[in-house]
Amino acid sequence: MIRRLYDWTMDLARHGRAKHALFWISFIESSFFPIPPDVMLIPMVIAERAKAMLYASIATVGSVLGGIAGYIIGYFLFEQIGLPILELYGKADKVAEFSTWFNEWSIWILIVLGGLTPFPYKVLTITAGVTAMPILPFMLASIVARASRFFLVAGLLYYFGPPIREFIERRLTLVTTVFVVLLVGGFVAVKYVV
């Protein structure tokens, strides 16, 4: 079953509309969707290494624009939309405490947490809107954070592509298990640690 899912994902990654799907998944992940764009980015780069930087660019643009949507949710629609999203991640009760900390360190929080950790970027974008972080620094920090993440992933896959693809295809069950554990672990860490 996992092999069929892998083959289906690789075929989907080569599809003509895969770039559109990557953009929209990156966009909605930055404002409310729980699944990271890596589920599209990684197979797309593995399937077509020569387009790695293009795919990283698409994911970055989609994510930053989605981050602006998250900011708007936090700024204008916090009670209606933002609060339920934060409740989903177990962060609603920490908004006041986090807002004070966020106001002081917002740019670095966006860059480090939003770019280099599994911390849900949407929590940061909504918080930036709630705290009325100035939009220009928000956008610049978002570009740095998201570009760092997506270009690092794409660059590593480009550079180490064939061995990584062979490893994934030989040990597909192990790779799938590790990915799921990391994904769930990221959600657990966000809920209980941060």
User: What's the rounded Cα separation, in Å, for the pair 164 and 52?
Assistant: 14
Could you tell me if 72 and 129 are in contact, meaning their C-beta atoms sit under 8 angstroms apart?
Answer: yes
In this structure, of 38-42, 117-121, 141-145, 172-176, the range with the lowest mean pLDDT score is 172-176
pLDDT band at 56 (very low <50, low <70, confident <90, very high): very high
Q: How far is CA 58 from CA 28, 53, 186, in A?
A: 13, 9, 24
User: What's the rounded Cα separation, in Å, for the pair 127 and 158?
Assistant: 34
pLDDT digit string, tens, across residues 172-182: 566 656 666 66
Helices first, then strands: H and E counts in the chain: 10, 0
Phi-psi map region of 90: left, alpha, beta (phi>0 left; psi -120 to 50 alpha): left
Backbone angles phi, psi at 91, to 5 degrees: -115, 0
pLDDT of residue 143: 92
- Predicted confidence (pLDDT) at residue 69 exceeds the cutoff of 90: yes
Domain ranges of the chain: 2-192
The encoded tokens of residue 180 equal 């799921």
pTM listed for this prediction: 0.76
Amino acid type, 158: Y
